[in-house]
Structure 1
Amino acid sequence: MRVAILGSGQVGQALAAGWTAHGHDVVIGTRQAAVEDFAVAPPAEAVRDADLVVLAVRGTAAVELVRSLAGELDGRVLVDATNPLDMGDRGPALFVGTTDSLGEQVQRAAPAARVVKAYNTVGNALMVDPDLPGGPPTMFLAGDDPDAKRQVGDLLQATGWDVADLGGIEASRWLEAMCMAWVAYGARTGTWGHAFKLLR
């Protein structure tokens, strides 16, 4: 599968490394000149030939970037791995929540894209092939397009995840809040190798 990752930070590079190891053809869409060890291209060019696009930028930049690429994203599966984090003096908080979400804003910015919220409730070190003593963790996802969610779910299962579908893109409100629970546990314990598991 051809994957375009929008964002060259830790999340983007972790996903690129993991999916490349699984045999996928990955390019990082970035305005930077180069990212060591990975193929790079300007964002619009990276998206153009992709089977799957992943949004892995800071939450504050997500909507503007997606809006600028809206035409290129028409009909494409767009995985939104972002969180609306506001890193203020009193610690992290969400800059949108309960009545709207960043996932919904991303979908509105590219109405014809098939947005799936996923990968936002775990640290980048565990995003591909998580190996935890409690067994495969659960990746929760949300989105309005069943086929898009199925494609993302298949990728997740092939790379070590259990999958739980929470429904439409509006469920991003609860996924983004779950990120805060993940952060709170990490801040309290000083450890970041944890993930959620849904028992059923």
Structure 2
Amino acid sequence: MKINIVGPGNMGRAIATRALAGGHGVCVVHPDPDPARTLAEELKQRFPDSQSDWAASVEPADITVLALWYDAALQIARSAGAALAGQVLVDICNPIDVSTMDGRVTPPDSSAAEEIQRIVGTEVKVVKAFNTTFASLLTAGEGHNFPLDVLIAGDDSAAKDKVADLVLSGAMRPLDVGPLRRARELEAMGFLHIAIQQPLQLNWHSSIKILH
């Protein structure tokens, strides 16, 4: 598959690493060419036999990942809606109030993923995933000798299957947790996971694991 990674930050780098490790092609998307080109070249050096490129705007792809903070993800949803038509759009963000880092900014009866779905319309299949995984472990694809669990929510089963294939190919375990409205609980879980890092001295090296 071809995977657009919108955002050249830590999470964008980590998800791109998993995608390339799984044999997929990656295009790093950012309006500023310097960070996008830099990450694409870094990935090409690490995976010389894989396809990694960069672009200033969203191009046709099998999956587009919004590896962005909530406000930036909303901006891309508004500006690139037409370009995203027919694609699977993965929202990874935790919509935290960045001014206080205490609480979420989405309406109580919604989620970041649902707000993005509302903006882009039904031609785009929004899936929530990766918001409960941290970049440090995601880069490696495992934590403490366990494969990472990637919790997935969405209303379109075929779209979730594509994301699950991406997760599996990167040596992780996809877990379908239900419809897109389950993103509300995933984002609450993501916020709690972030909030406990300092008091529990986890240093961003913890993961959420379902054992059964």
Instruction: Please give the TM-score of this superposition, normalised by the length of structure 1.
Output: 0.90
Which residue does 2:163 correspond to in 1?
152
Which residue does 2:103 correspond to in 1?
93
146, 168, 173: which is aligned to 1:162?
A: 173
Report the aligned-residue RMSD. Answer: 1.7
CA shift for structure 1 position 128: 4.5
Preserved CA contact (<8 Å) 1:77 1:113: yes
One-letter amino acid of the structure 1 residue matched with residue 120 of structure 2: A
Preserved CA contact (<8 Å) 1:142 1:168: yes
Which residue does 1:123 correspond to in 2?
134
Change beyond 3 A, Cα 1:182–1:97? farther
Which residue does 1:6 correspond to in 2?
6
One-letter amino acid of the structure 1 residue matched with residue 105 of structure 2: F
Preserved CA contact (<8 Å) 1:83 1:179: yes
Quote the sequence identity (%).
32
Q: Deviations over 1:8-54 (max 9, x none)?
A: 2211122223322333211111011222140321123xx22x11110
Q: Deviations over 1:85-124 (max 9, x none)?
A: 11224x3321115411110011111111111100011111
Which residue does 1:61 correspond to in 2?
72
Output the CA distance in 1 between the equivalents of 2:25 and 2:150: 23
| Local SS of the residue matching 1:189 | coil
Which residue does 2:193 correspond to in 1?
182
Output the CA distance in 1 between the equivalents of 2:166 and 2:18: 11
Q: What runs of 5+ residues in structure 1 fail to find an aligned partner?
A: none
Q: Deviations over 1:30-87 (max 9, x none)?
A: 011222140321123xx22x11110111111211211211111111111111121112
Which residue does 2:56 correspond to in 1?
42
One-letter amino acid of the structure 2 residue matched with residue 192 of structure 1: W
| Local SS of the residue matching 1:180 | helix
Q: Deviations over 1:108-167 (max 9, x none)?
A: 111111111000111112225432236223211100100110111121122122222121
Output the CA distance in 2 between the equivalents of 1:62 and 1:37: 19
Change beyond 3 A, Cα 1:99–1:189? same
Preserved CA contact (<8 Å) 1:97 1:177: no
Q: What runs of 5+ residues in structure 2 fail to find an aligned partner?
A: 41-52
119, 122, 125: which is aligned to 1:114?
A: 125
Runs of 4+ aligned structure 1 residues displaced above 3 Å come to: none
| Local SS of the residue matching 2:164 | helix
Output the CA distance in 2 between the equivalents of 1:184 and 1:82: 15
What count of residue pairs does the alignment treat as equivalent? 196
Output the CA distance in 2 between the equivalents of 1:23 and 1:130: 14
Preserved CA contact (<8 Å) 2:94 2:131: yes
One-letter amino acid of the structure 2 residue matched with residue 41 of structure 1: A
Matched, 1:135 2:146: yes
Output the CA distance in 1 between the equivalents of 2:133 and 2:182: 17
One-letter amino acid of the structure 1 residue matched with residue 106 of structure 2: V
Preserved CA contact (<8 Å) 1:67 1:109: yes
One-letter amino acid of the structure 1 residue matched with residue 2 of structure 2: R
